[in-house]
Amino acid sequence: MTAIELVISDQGEFLKFFRSKFPIFHLSNVFYLDIKYALKYYLLANHFKVSEAELESITETLINRMVSDGVFKEVTSETWTVNYPEFRTKTPGKPAQN
């Protein structure tokens, strides 16, 4: 399995990892560098070491896939809104308790 296959095959797991490292919520904005660094740490946690060029390529592919799947909605070329109801909060600004 390649690094991109790992991320694409289970976007939910990547998003949970992302949320554990960065404060993301349903309808919050995320930025390119947040996604890139979360992806870098996710790949390292799954024993994938990639070059900076590979990381940028994988990040672009992942973002495009999440936009096409409706998980991200583009705001600007560097910013997306998260459309992931599982990350909805009960109190604005506070993570839902599992």
26 near 84, Cβ under 8 Å? yes
Q: What is the pLDDT of residue 90?
A: 72
The answer, yes or no, to whether residue 92 has pLDDT greater than 70, is no
Q: Over the stretch 5-58, which tens digit does the pLDDT of each residue have? A: 999 898 899 999 999 988 898 999 999 999 999 999 999 999 999 999 999 999
Domain residue spans of the chain: 3-87
Q: What is the pLDDT of residue 93?
A: 59
Q: What is the pLDDT of residue 4?
A: 87
Fold of 3-87: Arc Repressor Mutant, subunit A (1.10.10)
- Mean local confidence (pLDDT), 91-98: 59
